[in-house]
Amino acid sequence: MSTATLTRHAISLDDATRFIWAEADILDRLDYRAWLPLWTKDGRYTIPIEHDAVDYDNQLNVAHDDEEMRQARVKRLLSGFSMSAAPPARTVRTISRFVVTAAADDLIELRSAMVLVEYKYERTRVLAGDVEFRLKRDEGVIKLDRKVVRLANCDDYLHGIGYLL
Amino acid sequence: MSTTDFGALVKDDRVHTALYKDGAIFDEEMERIFKNTWVWVGHESEVPSANTFKKSFVGNQPVIVTRDKAGVIRTLLNRCRHRAASVCEKKKGKQSVFVCPYHGWSYDIDGGLRKVPYADGYPEGLDREEFGLIRLRTETYQGMIFATFKQDIEPLVEFLGPARKWMDLFMKQGAGFGVKVLGEHRFRFPGNWKIQLENTTDAYHFPIVHKTFLDSLDAETENIFDVIGSGGWVEDLGHGHSVMVMIPDLIDLDDNLDAPIPDRFAELAEELREEGHDEAAVRRIVRAVGGTGFNLNLFPNVACSMAFFRVLRPVGVAETEIQHVAIGMGDAKETPSPAGNRARLRLHEHFQGPMGFGTPDDAEGWERVQRGARAGDDLWIMLNRGSAAPEGRPQPGHNAGDASSEVGMRAAYQQWKRMMTA
């Protein structure tokens, strides 16, 4: 493969971080309708319970969503009928400390840190986690193909979470 | 000892709000209830073989549930007999000895004191028999493990009484293979433990709190979950236990095995055939996959709820921990259907856990109760809904009401009153 080809198809770290920050901004603004088309058709959104989990299909997770479940989740959160999401908590998250773990034509995988602060009803909570992303270029557009949010306290007692991580 | 007149706080159709917010009442509950009855500590599949263990709680006291070399299941207080350090901080695992990290006292899996470093420092000698980990009385029924501090309590089977029939029915979701713990969601909510206790046999909240869950189902399934209009009922089973039948058609999973496989399970049925199950087994697994059509509440801390165990642990007067234990088919050695259990896991994730389509809304509701309970010093929690017994269905002689009645809560609070005033 020539350098020119690689440059044309590869997703750079700069491309990836812009995409990830844009996604974080969408989630903090609760603009979930704009979040759905960020995904590939076969994309999976996973929040494991065990910190070293890898076989998500055969283990219990907080969430392990295919396209249908993501759509159902967004519909639920925006419906106005979910007591835990209406009104929603306010969230502010930062994602950083990116490490590229794999790259190929039209694909990049990254590991990163997320710190999310939640506020609702006189209470502020902090969630921290490692987030793994796999981004794919799909007909020229960068899309989310995998997102695994590994909360630092995933195997401990959590609280009801009425928004997306 | 408190001088509160606990009996006056529980009437036939209402309980006083102080039960949610008075720290002195909470302290008495830990003594009078959680140290004086059978408390759920785990399922046998969580200690599947010799030298396996899991951590648990009886009330707010930390324990270790172990299976010893002879297969005996025990419940041990998780504190060294020397200076009280916890001897186990792993959630679960396999090991034959617990060593206190502070001064090195070691204990066998059955709780016996094995070795004491520099034992000659006790010139008068140390009676090892006297210093084993404290053992609670432990008994099981249908794989569910219960423990108690009260050594002279009635046998577990008597305490469970008529609830046993429902436990037998509940375990049929193993589709003949037995029931196995697949994992658990754990979360906390800032509210009193009895707010959760009330919830398991409360169908009245279901269509309101869980509207967004119902909206996420296909039309056929949504219709099944019309829990108030489907001919179900709530029944007082004695000792504070109660059952709420939501889907009468799914009481006995061995019935109707000849019915056609619903469209939504067609893909799963095909996977099951590919796993090598014959048609009879395929039908049995498909029918069992969604769990039973009822919630069984066992006073004071565990429920068998459709397709999972719900366990509560009181942490403080306004803080409670909940485990939603996902169960599937299998035993310690065998998982008969990976596809069946995958389907169970996805169903569990759909409703349960910190981000499920049901749990966060329940938790929000419970928290709202605790927040609202701050208002007013002499107000009551109303439990007066649905006193008329439905015809025919419940066991004759049992107190029962329609599916949306508050019979189950009244049953639990009458047990609370008996135990708090004994």
pLDDT tens figures, A118-141: 999 889 999 999 999 999 998 899
| Gap between the Cα atoms of B355 and B67, Å rounded | 33
* pTM higher than 0.90: yes
Mean pLDDT, chain A, integer: 93
C-alpha atoms less than 13 angstroms from C-alpha of B362 in its C-beta half-sphere:
25
Instruction: With CB atoms and an 8 Å threshold, state whether B186 touches A62.
Output: no
To which residue do tokens 């496989």 refer?
B261
Q: State the average pLDDT over residues A153-165.
A: 94
The predicted model gives A56-66 an average pLDDT of 96
> Are B257 and B280 spatial neighbours (Cβ–Cβ below 8 Å)?
yes
- Residue from B217, B355, B362, B371 to probe the interface with A (highest A Cβ count within 10 Å): B355
Q: What kind and span of H or E run contains B369? A: helix B359-372
| Cis amide prior to B101 (ω within 30 degrees) | no
The least confident of A39-53, B204-218, B311-325 is: B204-218
For chain B, how long is the longest CA-to-CA vector? 76
Cis omega (within 30 of 0) on the bond before B394? no
Q: Is the pLDDT of residue B333 over 80?
A: no
Residue B213 has a pLDDT of 87
Q: In terms of CA atoms, which chain B residue is nearest residue A156?
A: B186
B396 confidence band (pLDDT: 50, 70, 90) = confident
Q: Using 50, 70 and 90 to split pLDDT, how confident is the model at B2?
A: low
User: For residue A60, which of B330, B182, B356, B333 has the smallest C-alpha distance?
Assistant: B182
- Gap between the Cα atoms of B360 and A165, Å rounded: 14
Whether residue A58 lies within 8 A of chain B, CB to CB, comes out as: yes
| Beta strands in A16-153, from DSSP E residues, in sequence order | 39-48, 61-65, 90-104, 107-120, 123-138, 141-151
Q: What is the pLDDT of residue B204?
A: 86
Encoding tokens for residue B90? Answer: 């792993």
Cβ–Cβ under 8 Å, residues B52 and B41: no
Distance CA B355, CA A35 (A): 17
Would you call B360 and A160 a contact, using CB atoms and an 8 Å cutoff? yes
Q: What is the pLDDT of residue B3?
A: 65
How far apart, in whole angstroms, are the C-alpha atoms of residue B316 and residue A57?
36
Identify the DSSP state of A156: S
**Mean per-residue pLDDT for B360-377?**
92
The CA–CA distances, whole Å, from A13 to A20, A107, B122, B156, B217 equal 10, 11, 66, 61, 40
What is the DSSP code (8-state) at residue A50?
S
| Neighboring chain B residues of A81 at a CB cutoff of 8 Å | 211-212, 215
Q: Give per-residue pLDDT as tens, B100-129.
A: 999 999 999 999 999 999 998 998 888 999
Q: How confident is the prediction for chain B on average, in pLDDT?
A: 93
Q: Residue A35: is its pLDDT beyond 80?
A: yes
Rounded distance between C-alpha atoms, residue B363 and residue B406, angstroms: 19
Alpha carbon distance A130, A114 (integer Å): 6
Indicate if the pLDDT at residue B225 is higher than 90.
Answer: no
For a pLDDT cut of 90, what percent of chain B falls above it? 80
**Which secondary structure element, helix H or strand E, spans residue B303, and what is its range?**
strand B302-305
Predicted confidence (pLDDT) per residue in B143-171, tens digit:
999 999 999 999 999 999 999 999 999 99
pLDDT in tens, B5-40: 999 999 999 999 999 999 999 999 999 999 999 999
Q: What was the pLDDT predicted at A1? A: 45
Residue with tokens 């506020």: A119
Element containing residue B238 per DSSP (H, E): strand B233-238
pLDDT at A7 over 60: no
Residue B315 reports pLDDT greater than 60: yes
Asked whether the bond before B48 is cis by omega within 30 degrees of 0, the reply is: no
Q: Return d(Cα B324, Cα A110) in angstroms, integer.
A: 32
Q: Is the C-alpha dihedral spanning A155, A160, A164, A165 positive or negative? A: negative
B296's tokens: 């069984």
Q: Residue for token digits 């090598």?
A: B276
Per-residue CA distances from B418 to B32, B301, B334 (Å): 10, 17, 43
* CA B302 to mean position of chain CA atoms: 2
Q: How far apart are CA B166 and CA B296, in angstroms?
A: 7
Can you tell me whether residue A42 is helix, strand or coil?
strand
Q: From the list B188, B326, B355, which residue is nearest A60 (CB)?
A: B326
Q: How far is A126 from chain B (nearest CA, A)?
A: 15
ipTM of predicted complex: 0.91
pLDDT given for residue B303 in this prediction: 98
pLDDT at B4: 82
Asked if residue A106 has pLDDT above 50, the reply is yes
Does residue B319 sit in helix, strand or coil? strand
Q: What is the pLDDT of residues B288-306, one digit of tens each?
A: 999 999 999 999 999 999 9
By percentage, how much of chain B surpasses pLDDT 70? 98
The 10s digit of each residue's pLDDT in B173-183 is 999 999 999 99
Residues in chain B with CB shorter than 8 Å from the CB of A82 are: 211-212, 360-361
CA–CA distance, A20 with A95 (Å, rounded to integer) = 8
